[in-house]
């Protein structure tokens, strides 16, 4: 690319400049030649008219033209780069001024014969010849000098254009080469490398900014991937270690297979079952070919059903669930999937709201959208953690105890299902004051391009 784009830009600039300058030079050269030829022709025409007038004036009806007068007129013609022949009434040659300059300097462009009239009476005929005198050669030398200066200026202009084009091409290619170098480093795994964006070229600055954002996103994804691997390993290792240790203790006769020991093993196995179930739900929800079963759904019914399911699990906590803000609004969606969304959100709210606390659910509608807000008086989420709470296995609460921290899959499932309906889910939170999750769903699935209807 270093040689490619820089060379192409330089050759492009030079090519355009060369073609433009050559065209201008040729046009100026042609125009100058035409104008100069017209000037000479007009000048010689005017001089020939003066010559004709002088010949008529010097003629007398008694003696005709005298040699002295013809010599004077011949000298005048020579100064004007003209030669002439004078003919009598019977076309006999009376005077040839060309003999005064010799045959080697005789002109080559012969004009037509014109009659000489004095007082309306024809007294002879005049034939003018454009000469090759020194006067004419000087004018040709001037034209040649002009052309030489014109082509010389073309050379110096091209040199200037070359350096200017080199400067411009370097200015354009340098940031692109920097961006290319950064992209190669990112490709090789150096996700911390960033492009240093300088200059006033808006498009190049936007490309560099986009690449930096891409690198930041890849770095975040890489960190999440590492955390994901560690979290999965932890979630599997803890229950498996407990079950393994208990079974080995029973096999070695250290412990008796009492109901309590078997119950603990069963709880750990069920923990693994729940983890696998959550992973299956998440994989299903994030599947781009997710098939929804849309039907007309009254959102209040779904929320009340989710509330009944969750309240049974958290009946031991002194937390009030306020559903007075839930009003009946109909939308088109998959009721089972939507029930899963609100169960997860309510379960999350109960889990992180200390006693005594309150959870409020409110439903409102816009022109084409239904908004559901679930607010709690819980511990809140820090601003540093908010961008990541919808990622798999991400948990702001650092405890690895599933009863308090969970596996970190619930909100990821919520996000996947809501987006499959063409909606969005967002959160606002303040530490020690609570959080508010907002689910924005379209009233009709036709507003979403991310769903696949299941044909019956």
Rounded distance, CA 122 to CA 135, Å? 33
Q: What angle do CA 173, 175, 179 make, to 5 degrees?
A: 110
Q: Is the CB of residue 322 less than 8 Å from the CB of residue 351?
A: no
Q: Are residues 19 and 114 in the same domain?
A: yes
In this predicted structure, what is the pLDDT of residue 395? 62
Q: Which of 135, 156, 181 is the last residue of a domain?
A: 135
Buried b (16+ CB within 10 A) or exposed e, 130-166: bbbbeebeeeeeebeeeeeeeeeeeeebeeebeeebe
Q: What's the token pair of residue 227? A: 């955390």
DSSP code of 60? B
Total domains present in the chain: 3
3-class DSSP state for residue 429?
strand
**pLDDT (tens digit, 0 to 9) for every residue of the chain, 456 residues total?**
445 666 777 777 777 877 887 888 788 878 877 887 787 778 778 888 888 888 888 888 888 888 888 888 888 888 777 888 888 888 888 888 877 665 544 545 566 788 988 888 888 888 888 765 444 566 677 777 877 887 788 788 878 877 877 777 777 777 777 777 777 877 777 777 777 766 666 777 777 778 778 877 777 777 767 776 776 776 777 788 888 888 888 888 888 888 887 888 888 888 788 777 777 776 776 665 557 788 999 999 999 999 998 888 888 888 899 999 999 999 999 998 899 899 999 988 998 888 889 999 999 998 889 999 999 998 888 888 888 788 776 665 544 344 445 566 788 889 988 988 889 999 999 888 899 999 999 988 654 444 444 433
- Report whether 354 contacts 369 (CB < 8 A): no
Where residue 241 sits, what CATH number does that domain have? 1.10.287.130
Q: Does 161 reside within a domain?
A: no
Do 278 and 297 fall into the same domain? Answer: no
pLDDT of 243:
84
Instruction: Decide if 414 contacts 283 (C-beta within 8 A).
Output: no
Quick one: 322 and 262 in the same domain? no
- Its domain, for residue 250, covers 197-287
| DSSP-based three-state secondary structure for 207 | helix
Write down the pLDDT at residue 311: 84
Query: In 109-169, which ranges are E strands?
Result: 109-110, 114-118, 121-130
| 120, 135, 150 - which closes a domain | 135
- What is the CATH classification number for the domain harbouring 448? 3.30.565.10
Long-range own/partner contacts, residues 106-115 (CB < 8 A, 24 or more apart): 106/131, 106/132, 107/82, 107/83, 107/131, 107/132, 108/132, 111/48, 113/87, 114/52
Is position 179 within any domain?
no
Residue 181 placed within a domain: no
Q: Could you tell me if 268 and 301 lie in one domain?
A: no
Q: Which two tokens stand for residue 82?
A: 């003209």
Tokens linked to 112:
């037509």
């Amino acid at each position: 690319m270093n040689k490619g784009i820089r060379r192409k830009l330089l050759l492009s600039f030079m090519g355009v400049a060369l073609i433009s300058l050559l065209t201008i030079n040729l046009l100026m050269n042609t125009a100058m030649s035409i104008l100069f030829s017209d000037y000479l022709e007009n000048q010689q025409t005017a001089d020939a008219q003066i010559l004709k007038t002088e010949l008529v004036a010097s003629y007398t009806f008694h003696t005709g033209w005298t040699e002295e007068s013809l010599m004077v007129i011949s000298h005048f013609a020579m100064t004007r780069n003209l030669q002439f022949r004078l003919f009598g009434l019977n076309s006999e040659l009376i005077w040839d001024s060309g003999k005064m300059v010799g045959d080697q300097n005789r002109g080559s462009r012969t004009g037509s014969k014109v009659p000489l009239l004095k007082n309306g009476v024809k007294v002879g005929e005049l034939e003018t010849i454009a000469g090759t005198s020194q006067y004419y050669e000087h004018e040709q030398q001037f034209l040649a000098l002009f052309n030489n200066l014109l082509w010389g200026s073309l050379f110096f202009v091209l040199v200037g254009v070359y350096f200017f084009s080199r400067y411009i091409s370097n200015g354009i290619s340098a940031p692109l080469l920097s961006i290319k170098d950064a992209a190669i480093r990112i490709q090789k795994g150096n996700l911390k490398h960033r492009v240093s964006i300088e200059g006033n070229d808006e498009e190049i600055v936007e490309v560099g900014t986009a690449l930096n954002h891409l690198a930041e996103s890849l770095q975040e994804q890489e960190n999440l991937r590492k955390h994901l691997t560690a979290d999965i390993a932890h979630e599997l290792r803890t229950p498996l270690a407990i079950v393994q240790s208990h079974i080995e203790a029973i096999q070695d006769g250290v412990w008796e297979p009492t109901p309590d020991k078997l119950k603990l093993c069963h709880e750990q196995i069920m923990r693994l079952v729940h983890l696998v179930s959550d992973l299956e739900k998440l994989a299903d929800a994030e599947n781009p070919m997710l098939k929804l079963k849309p039907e007309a759904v009254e959102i209040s019914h779904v929320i009340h059903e989710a509330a009944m399911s969750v309240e049974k699990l958290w009946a031991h906590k002194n937390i009030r669930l306020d559903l007075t803000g839930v009003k009946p609004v109909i939308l088109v969606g998959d009721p089972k999937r939507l029930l899963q969304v609100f169960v997860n959100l309510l379960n999350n709210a109960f889990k992180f709201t200390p006693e005594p606390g309150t959870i409020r659910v409110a439903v409102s509608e816009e022109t084409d959208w239904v908004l559901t807000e679930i607010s709690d008086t819980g511990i809140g989420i820090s601003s540093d953690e908010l961008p990541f709470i919808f990622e798999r296995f991400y948990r702001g609460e650092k405890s690895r105890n599933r009863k308090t921290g969970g596996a970190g899959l619930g909100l990821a499932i919520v996000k996947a299902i809501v987006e499959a309906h063409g909606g969005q889910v967002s959160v606002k939170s303040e530490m020690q004051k609570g959080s508010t999750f907002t689910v924005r769903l379209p009233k009709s699935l036709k507003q979403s391009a991310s769903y696949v209807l299941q044909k019956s």
